[in-house]
């Protein structure tokens, strides 16, 4: 059975590019308006590679930022899932937490409207905001946050996410994190880092972690 806890240190991620039918066309449709804002159209000189690459990099970064920034109903659904996962980790119900995370995919479905990017993005947005004391977070919360003892899925990504979030830079670094760790590791790591912060907050406030998660994750 899948578990967030591991018996040994997590091995380095083997980054594999997964092909999904229609993914390239879908992405190009999404970033075409962003490229147009950069002045890149079908009439742009195709031999000006440095300009094209720079514009493409900026467009992809903006595309990923939007993908990892849930709003409205999507944010509420992602927040509810994060509260459930964090509460499960706090209760040492790590197999249940793994099942919740493993239910996520790249696209919303009728059975699971929350996506990988929704969960990871919201977790990093919250961590970045907590580093400044927003949302009632205790002063220095992230400076005193360490991952729970033992070995975990996503622990390498979580370590990097915590370090970045202490500078309020985790969410803006999502593209770099994905390249380094892979999408699934980033999702696991972001949620693990969020759980670690909630557990630290819980100890400082002498309040059950599930109650902290309910009040602070939204």
Please report, in tens digits, the pLDDT of each residue of the chain (218 residues total): 699 999 999 887 765 444 444 445 556 676 667 666 666 666 666 666 777 677 676 666 777 777 899 989 999 999 999 999 999 999 999 999 999 999 999 888 988 999 999 999 999 999 999 999 999 999 999 999 999 999 999 999 999 999 999 999 999 999 899 989 998 999 999 999 999 999 999 999 999 999 999 999 99
pTM of the model: 0.82
Confidence (pLDDT) at 54 = 73
Residues 6+ apart with CB under 8 A from 54: none
In a domain, 7, yes or no: no
Residue with tokens 């159209």: 41
Parent domain of 149 = 71-216
Neighbouring CB atoms inside 10 A of 100's CB total: 19
Among candidate residues 67, 86, 121, the one where a domain is terminated? 67
Residues 6+ apart with CB under 8 A from 183: 106, 116, 117, 120
d(CA 33, CA 200): 43
d(CA 201, CA 95): 23
Q: What is the DSSP letter of 30?
A: H
Confidence (pLDDT) at 45 = 63
Residue 106 near residue 117, CB atoms below 8 Å: yes
Among candidate residues 67, 93, 128, the one where a domain is terminated? 67
Domain count of the chain? 2
Closest CA to 125 of 86, 162, 170: 170
Confidence (pLDDT) at 35 = 66
Among candidate residues 33, 50, 67, the one where a domain is terminated? 67
């Amino acid at each position: 059975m899948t578990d967030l806890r591991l018996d040994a240190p997590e091995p380095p991620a083997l980054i594999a590019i997964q092909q999904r039918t229609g993914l390239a066309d879908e992405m190009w449709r999404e970033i075409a308006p962003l490229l147009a804002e950069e002045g890149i159209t079908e009439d742009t000189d195709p031999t000006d590679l440095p300009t094209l690459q720079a514009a493409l990099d900026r467009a992809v970064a903006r595309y990923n930022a939007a993908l990892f920034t849930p709003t409205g109903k999507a944010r509420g659904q992602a927040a509810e899932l994060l509260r459930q996962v964090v509460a499960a980790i706090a209760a040492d119900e790590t197999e249940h937490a793994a099942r919740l995370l493993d239910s996520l995919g790249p696209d919303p479905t009728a059975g699971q409207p929350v996506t990988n990017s929704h969960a990871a993005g919201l977790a990093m947005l919250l961590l970045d905001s907590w580093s400044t004391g927003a949302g009632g977070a205790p002063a220095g919360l992230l400076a005193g946050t360490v991952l729970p003892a033992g070995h975990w899925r996503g622990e390498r990504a979580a370590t990097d996410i915590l370090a970045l979030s202490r500078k309020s830079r985790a969410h803006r670094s999502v593209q770099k994190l994905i390249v380094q760790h892979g999408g699934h590791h980033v999702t696991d790591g972001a949620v693990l880092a969020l759980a670690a912060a909630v557990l630290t907050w819980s100890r400082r406030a002498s309040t059950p972690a599930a109650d902290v998660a309910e009040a602070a994750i939204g």
